[in-house]
Chains A and B, each alone.
Chain A
Amino acid sequence: MARAVSTNRKIGFTVAAWVVALLIFFPILYTIITSFKSETEAIAGFSLIPSGTLESYAEVQAQSNYFKFFLNSVIIAVGSTILALVVAVPAAWSMAFSPTKRTKDILMWMLSTKMMPAVAVLVPIYLIFRDTNLLDTRIGLTVMLMLINLPIVVWMLYTYFREIPGEILEAARMDGATLWGEIVYVLTPMAVPGIASTMLLNIILAWNEAFWTIRLTTTNAAPLTAFIASFSSPQGLFWAKLSAASTLAIAPILIMGWFSQRQLVRGLTFGAVK
C-alpha cells in the first residue's frame, strides 16, 4: 500500500516539475521553433509547428555575415579564458600549496575587485581605449574580459587546488620523486579536472558578457552580444531572422552550460556553496 502511494506521489511531482520546467524553458524553445519558420509564418499567430525552412539561417548569414561575429565571440571568449588561466594557475597554485598569513587577505582583495560596477569605470576605460586605438579590436576586448574574470578564475582554481591533499606530495617524495616528477606525474593529473571546469565556466561568462562587448566595439571586433543587440532597432520583418541568429548564439553555450552545472554553483558563489 505504502509503495503505491509513493508511486502516485512520484507521478504527481513529475507532472508538476515538467510543467514548471517547460514553462521556464518555453522562450528558448519558441525561439528555436521560430528560427525554422519563414518571416510571414513567424508573425502569423501562435504555432509550435514550423515549416522547417532554413531560409532565416541563410539570410542572417547572407545579409550580415553572421559568421564573422560568431568567430569574434569564439576568439574573445576562448582567448580571454586562456590568458586568464596562464596568469591565474600559478597564483592559485602557490596560494593553495604554500599559503602564508596574507593569502586570505589577497584572496578577499581579489574578490573585492569584482564588486566594482562596470559603469563606474566606463569613461576612463573608453578614453584609454580610444587613445590607444584599442576600440573595436579583438585584442582590447580579450584583455578586458580577462581582467574582469581573473578574480573568479583565481578563486575557482584555488578552491579546487586546495582539495588536493598535501600528504600525497609527501608520499611521492618518500618514494623518491623529484620536484619535476611531482608536478608532472602527481599534481597535474589531479589538477586537470579543476582547470577544465574553470575554463568551461569562464568561457560561458565571457561569451555572455554584454556591457563591455557592446560598448567597446562597433563592427570589426563585435561579438554576438553586440550583433544581437543591433536587432533592437530593426527594419522590416525580422522575427525569424532574430530567432535564427539567437539560436546559433546560445546553442554552443547552452550545451556547455549543461555540462558545467556543478562548477557553476561553485564558481559563482566563490566556493561558499558547493
Chain B
Amino acid sequence: MATRQTTTLARFMMAPSVILLFIWMIVPLAMTLWFSFLNYNLLNPANVSFAGLFNYKFFYTDPAFFQSIWNTLVLVLGVLLITVIGGIALALLLDQPMFGQGIVRILVISPFFVMPPVAALVWKNMIMHPGYGVFADIAKFFGAQPVDWFAQYPLFSIIIIVAWQWLPFATLILLTALQSLDGEQKEAAEMDGAGFVSRFIYLTIPHISRAVTVVILIQTIFLLGVYAEILVTTNGGPGYASTNLPFLIYRTALLGYDVGGASAGGIIAVILANIVAFFLMRAVGKNLDK
C-alpha cells in the first residue's frame, strides 16, 4: 500500500511542471499552426479568412526565403566548423601542464557569459568598425585600407561574433571530456612508443567523440535561433544578405504585420529544429540508460 501512496505523491509532485510545460508546448504551437492557414494581417484584423496553403506557397516563392534558409545553414555550419575545430585545439592546449591554468580557463570561457547584444555591439563598434575599430587600427598601422566588415562581409562578420560566443562552450565541454581520459591509458600508449599524432587519433578522438556530438547538436539548436546578434549589427542587410530564418519570420510578423505568413515560416522552423532534435534526443537518451 505504501508504494501506491508514494506513486500518488510522486504524480502530485510532478504535476505542476508537466502541466505548465504541456500548455507552453501545445497552445502557442497550435495557434501558430492555425494562423498559418489564415489570411491574417495585424493592420486589418477584422478581415481574417481561410487561406489554405497560400501562406506556405507565398513564403516558399519569396526569394528571401531561400536566401534566409541558405544563410541559416551557412551560419550554423560556419560557427560549428570554427568552434569544434578551435574547441578541440584549445581543449588540448588547456589540458597541458602550465602556470596559471585556472586564470587561463577563466579568460577563455568568459565570452560565453556576455549577453548577445553586448557581444555583437562591442564587436561591431570597437573591433570591426571601419573608422575606429581595432581591426581598422591594425590595418592603418600596416598601411592597408580598413575593411568595412558589415557592409562587405555581413554574414561572415556575424559568424565571427557568434563563433566567439560559442567557442568557450565547445572548449569547456571538450576539456571536461578530455580530463576524464584515463591517465594510465595515456602513459601506457606513450610507453608503447605512440607519438602525439597516433595517440590523438587512436585514443583521444574516440574518447571525446561523444562530447563532440553533444557540442554539435546543442550548438545547432541555439544557432538555428540566432537573432539578437543580427538585430543589432546588420538588421538582416544589406538587402537580405544576413537574414536568417528567425530574422525573416520576425520581419514578416512584427514589421510586415503578416501573421499568416510568419506562422507558416514558424512551422518550417519547427520542422528544421525537429530534425536536429531527433538526433540530440537519441544521444542524450542513450546516456540515461547507463
Q: Which residues of A contact B (CB under 8 A)?
A: 6, 9-11, 13-14, 16-18, 20-22, 24-25, 27-28, 30-31, 34, 42-43, 45-46, 87-88, 90-91, 93-95, 98, 100, 104, 106-128, 147, 150-151, 154, 204, 207-208, 210-211, 214-215, 224-225, 228-229, 231-232, 239, 242-243, 246, 249-250, 253-254, 256-258, 261-262, 264-265, 268-274
In the complex, the answer to whether A115 meets B221 with C-beta atoms within 8 Å is yes
Contacts of B267 in A (CB 8 A): 120
Contacts of A125 in B (CB 8 A): 28
> Given known contacts A123-B266, A150-B20, A210-B117, is B137 in contact with A117 (CB within 8 Å)?
no
B106 within 8 A of A: yes
In the complex, the answer to whether B16 meets A24 with C-beta atoms within 8 Å is no
In the complex, the answer to whether A120 meets B228 with C-beta atoms within 8 Å is no
Interface pairs (11), CB distance under 8 Å:
A13-B98, A46-B138, A90-B17, A98-B7, A108-B285, A113-B24, A122-B249, A204-B113, A211-B228, A228-B121, A246-B122
The complex places the Cα of A111 from the Cα of B288 at a distance, in Å, of: 13
Contacts of B97 in A (CB 8 A): 6, 9-10, 13
Name the distance in Å between B25's Cβ and chain A's nearest Cβ: 5
In the complex, the answer to whether B134 meets A210 with C-beta atoms within 8 Å is no
In the complex, the answer to whether B269 meets A27 with C-beta atoms within 8 Å is no
In the complex, the answer to whether A154 meets B17 with C-beta atoms within 8 Å is yes
B116 within 8 A of A: yes
The complex places the Cα of A25 from the Cα of B99 at a distance, in Å, of: 18
Contacts of A17 in B (CB 8 A): 93-94, 96, 98, 101, 104
Name the distance in Å between B127's Cβ and chain A's nearest Cβ: 6
In the complex, the answer to whether A115 meets B273 with C-beta atoms within 8 Å is yes
Name the distance in Å between B165's Cβ and chain A's nearest Cβ: 10
In the complex, the answer to whether B218 meets A16 with C-beta atoms within 8 Å is no
In the complex, the answer to whether A253 meets B254 with C-beta atoms within 8 Å is no
In the complex, the answer to whether A16 meets B225 with C-beta atoms within 8 Å is no
In the complex, the answer to whether B10 meets A14 with C-beta atoms within 8 Å is no
Please name the residue on chain A nearest to B289 by beta carbon: A104
In the complex, the answer to whether B285 meets A151 with C-beta atoms within 8 Å is no
The complex places the Cα of A184 from the Cα of B101 at a distance, in Å, of: 39
The complex places the Cα of A218 from the Cα of B218 at a distance, in Å, of: 31
> Which segment of B29-37, B59-67, B182-190 sits at the interface?
B29-37
In the complex, the answer to whether A106 meets B111 with C-beta atoms within 8 Å is no
Contacts of B272 in A (CB 8 A): 117
> Given known contacts A123-B32, A225-B117, is B17 in contact with A93 (CB within 8 Å)?
no
The complex places the Cα of A211 from the Cα of B117 at a distance, in Å, of: 10
Name the distance in Å between A134's Cβ and chain B's nearest Cβ: 14
Contacts of B262 in A (CB 8 A): 122-123
> Given known contacts A25-B110, A98-B7, A118-B246, is B176 in contact with A273 (CB within 8 Å)?
yes
The complex places the Cα of A100 from the Cα of B10 at a distance, in Å, of: 9
The complex places the Cα of A106 from the Cα of B273 at a distance, in Å, of: 20
B159 within 8 A of A: no
The complex places the Cα of A87 from the Cα of B10 at a distance, in Å, of: 13
Contacts of B98 in A (CB 8 A): 10, 13-14, 17
Please name the residue on chain A nearest to B124 by beta carbon: A232
Type the 1/0 row for B98-141, where 1 means its CB is closer than 8 Å to any CB of A.
Answer: 11110111111111111111110111011100011010011000
Please name the residue on chain A nearest to B11 by beta carbon: A94
In the complex, the answer to whether A28 meets B96 with C-beta atoms within 8 Å is no
Name the contact of B277 in the complex, choosing from A25, A112, A123 (C-beta under 8 A): A112
B245 within 8 A of A: yes
Name the contact of A104 in the complex, choosing from B14, B115, B228, B288 (C-beta under 8 A): B288
The complex places the Cα of A100 from the Cα of B8 at a distance, in Å, of: 11
> Given known contacts A25-B110, A150-B21, is B13 in contact with A111 (CB within 8 Å)?
no
> Given known contacts A123-B263, A154-B17, A273-B214, is B137 in contact with A225 (CB within 8 Å)?
no
